[in-house]
């Protein structure tokens, strides 16, 4: 049975927009590696950095797609649409929103995030 793990980061308590410097996030779309991501300066509307990784198995080959960007809200309802692979090939999904510059380098695995497990049926319902 495949399980999809989604990692959400809890926003910090510091107010948005209090810093003189704009938020910076890593940015890439369906990259094979985080090394393919570049630093981007976010717009005033984008308050969070987003990290999304989908691991898939195609035949006997394991593949990874990584998407990172600046986002205005942490809306996870669109996650299934971010993958170019069919749902039955998805092994795991990790997704995170965070509030500090360049915080979306990689998904959190520490106590800073809240780990939720979702079955494939729930994710398909979101699709």
Greater confidence, 1 or 87? 87
Range of the domain at 58: 3-12+21-126
Spell out the long-range contacts of 40-44 with Cβ–Cβ below 8 A and sequence spacing 24 or more.
Answer: 40/69, 40/70, 42/70, 43/70, 44/17
Say yes or no to pLDDT of 111 above 80: no
Number of domains in the chain: 1
- Average pLDDT score over residue span 110-125: 38
Quote the pLDDT of residue 106.
Answer: 81
pTM: 0.68
Say yes or no to pLDDT of 17 above 50: no
- Confirm if 87 and 124 have CB atoms less than 8 A apart: yes
CATH number at residue 68: 2.10.60.10
Quote the pLDDT of residue 75.
Answer: 83
Quote the pLDDT of residue 14.
Answer: 43
Query: Which residues, in sequence order, are bridge partners of residue 57?
Result: 62
CA distance 58 to 70: 29
């Amino acid at each position: 049975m495949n399980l999809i793990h989604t990692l959400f980061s809890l926003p910090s308590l510091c107010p948005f927009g209090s810093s003189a410097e704009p938020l910076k996030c890593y940015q890439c779309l369906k990259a094979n590696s985080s090394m393919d991501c570049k630093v981007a300066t976010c717009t005033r509307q984008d308050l969070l950095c987003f990290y999304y990784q989908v691991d898939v198995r195609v035949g006997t080959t394991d593949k990874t797609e990584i998407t990172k960007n600046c986002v205005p809200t942490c809306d996870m309802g669109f996650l299934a649409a971010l993958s170019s692979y069919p749902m039955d090939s998805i092994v795991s999904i990790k997704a995170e929103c965070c509030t500090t510059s360049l915080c979306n380098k990689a998904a959190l695995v520490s106590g800073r995030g809240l780990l939720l497990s979702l079955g494939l049926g729930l994710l398909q319902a979101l699709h």
